Amino acid sequence: MNFWKYHVNGNDFLLVHQKSNISEKQGILLCDRHKGIGADGILIVRVHKFEVYYRHVNADGSHAAMCGNGIRCVGHWFMSRHKLDRCTVHIDERAYSLRMSGGNFVTLISDIPEILGRNRYNSGVVHLISSRYQARTDANVDVVEYRDPLHFHIRTIELGVGPTLSCGTGTMAAFYHGYRHGYLHRIAIGTSPGGDNLLRWGNNQIYMSAIVHPVFHGTWMETENDSFR
């Protein structure tokens, strides 16, 4: 099985281009950092009549409805292969626009997150914005510090993954929370343990940009002991 390894600010993924689905056991094995390849999740990509579709599998084998970093890796993979500077990627019956410049700088254009309640947002998946960590099973938790109107720091504990070096949907939720409460300007930099995202508000949409890093391309050699069968 061929795969591509990508990361955005250390949030790393295995991209697989195939029609068939990967089972939960396969996903767990592939993401294992000691016995597998190692990743926070798997991006299962399908291209049909130049339309890009993808399914996101977390490191624990569970499904995610959206991933702001993963979808930018999918966009980079497709746009670089076809020499494009923009594309649309579909996930869970939703379509997102992406743009690429300079070869690796990819921007996700997303609708504003849905407000679910006090400090809770749906930016594709549910996030809770907090100043300190709270263990939750119903939301990803983002510990956020708004340092000045142009900068904020974010640390995310994701359902199905755990602490990650970066979380795109969490960064969008934290930016929107800061903007609507007056902590941030219309343009700000969100810094996670793995690196920075540039965020901008415009036309009732959020533009989130960062460098997408292709790491390597390889082949997974299945064996009788891989529990794939």
Q: Please check whether residue 23 is in contact with residue 31, taking contact to mean a CB–CB distance below 8 angstroms.
A: no
Give the span between the Cα atoms of 50 and 182, in whole angstroms: 41
pLDDT at 20: 59
The structure's pTM equals: 0.94
Instruction: Report, as ranges of residue numbers, the positions in the chain whose pLDDT lies below 50.
Output: 224, 227-229
How many whole angstroms separate alpha carbon 101 and alpha carbon 109?
Answer: 14
Residue 220 has a pLDDT of: 85
> For residue 222, what pLDDT is reported?
67
Residue 49's pLDDT is: 87
Amino acid 226: pLDDT: 54
Q: What is the pLDDT of residue 223?
A: 60
Q: How remote is the C-alpha of 122 from its chain's centroid?
A: 14
